[in-house]
Amino acid sequence: MLETIWFLLWGILWAVYFMLDGFDLGLGTLNPFISRNETEKRILYNSMGPFWDGNEVWLIAAGGVTFAAFPTMYAVMFSALYSPLLLILFGLIIRGVAFEFRGKIDNEGWRVLWDICHFLGSFGPALLFGVAFANIFQGIPIDGRGVFQGSILTLLNPYGILGGLLFVMLFLVHGALWLAIKSSGDLEARAGRTAGRLWWALLVVAVVFLVATFFSTNLYANYFANPVLFVVPLVTVSALLAVRWFIAIKRWWKAWFASSLTIVTATLFGIIGLYPNMLPSSLNPKYSLTAFNSASSPLTLKIMLVVALVFVPIVILYQAWGYYLLRGKVTEEDLASDEAY
């Protein structure tokens, strides 16, 4: 029972991370294509500036839970997916540095350099997170000792790349909607139009991914065994359609919350389909790591559960309070502040 609870918490933490940091990664990827001048670029940076590092708390939490609750899975995963995870880490570091360094020197070449770094530090992790999770859904060639029998090229298979494209498209739409919320005038209108256009590309990629998932993975097995679980993908589809509707009527906050629900339930769709597997082996099912054979001791799980029940709500309340305080639009007057990016 404890293993199942922690498996669900593990999935929820990843889903929340993708929901929150997803709009940062999407905006960073969009930056070179949607900002037309320095003022618009600064509005884009400042629309996510107060939030991006707080959003990554959930990445630390997801990684921490993996390490503490499922140490065997953590060890094998960080060995098998070492290259993409290291590239993700480098990307996130470069992105964080870009936020802080971009405005230190009043020089166009300097700003262009850090804009490029910010783009690479956003697009790279978005793509690689999708590649990593798609490969987990599909199964990774690990043997009975947990040793990865392949290379990074093994992970860049068609289904893995398709998963990467899905994550990128989800985050692009999510980020464009956030920019529409936080900006005004022509930039707001352009961000809204961009979200609407990208939505159609997202729809195509999502449909192809769902079909490919049926043939490339065993995720649907749990759903066919327990049809009530189909409510999860049903909510995902409904939320995705709601995004398009709210974009059409220019209700940006509602569209963003619908996009958030799409990302969360899409992630949970994969997590629920995996159960009880956490790292399935494509070589032999008996080599797979599950929530049961890779979990910590029951005492450890009990102690961690108490800690989580106390501190996770505190983090949620604190972060929600921060979002509420900074809910307004970023204006040109705000850019004059010494604290602005």
Per DSSP, the residues of 24-58 read HHHHHHHHHHH--SHHHHHHHHHHHTTTHHHHTHH
* The predicted structure's pLDDT at residue 332: 82
Longest dimension (CA), the chain: 61
Nearest CA to 122 out of 200, 48, 14 is that of: 48
How far is the first Cα of the chain from the last one, in angstroms, to the nearest whole number?
47
Write the CB contacts of 143 (distance below 8 Å, at least 6 apart in sequence).
Answer: 149, 281, 283, 284, 287
DSSP string, 246-292: HHHTT-HHHHHHHHHHHHHHHHHHHHHHHTTEEE-BSS-GGG-EETT
CB 135 within 8 A of CB 160: yes
pTM of the model: 0.94
Successive 10-residue mean pLDDT values, the chain, 341 residues: 92 95 95 91 91 90 90 88 89 93 89 95 96 93 86 89 96 97 93 96 96 94 94 96 96 97 96 93 89 90 90 90 89 77 78
3-state secondary structure of 337: coil
Place of tokens 């936080």: 182
Angle between helices 2-34 and 57-69 (to 10 degrees): 150
* The predicted structure's pLDDT at residue 89: 93
Partners of 279 in the β-ladder: 289
Rounded Cα distance, 46 and 40, in Å: 10
Q: Which stretches of 70-157 are DSSP H helices?
A: 71-80, 82-101, 108-138, 152-155
Does an H or E element contain 240, and which?
A: helix 231-248
Domain spans in the chain, listed from the N-terminal domain onward: 2-216+274-336
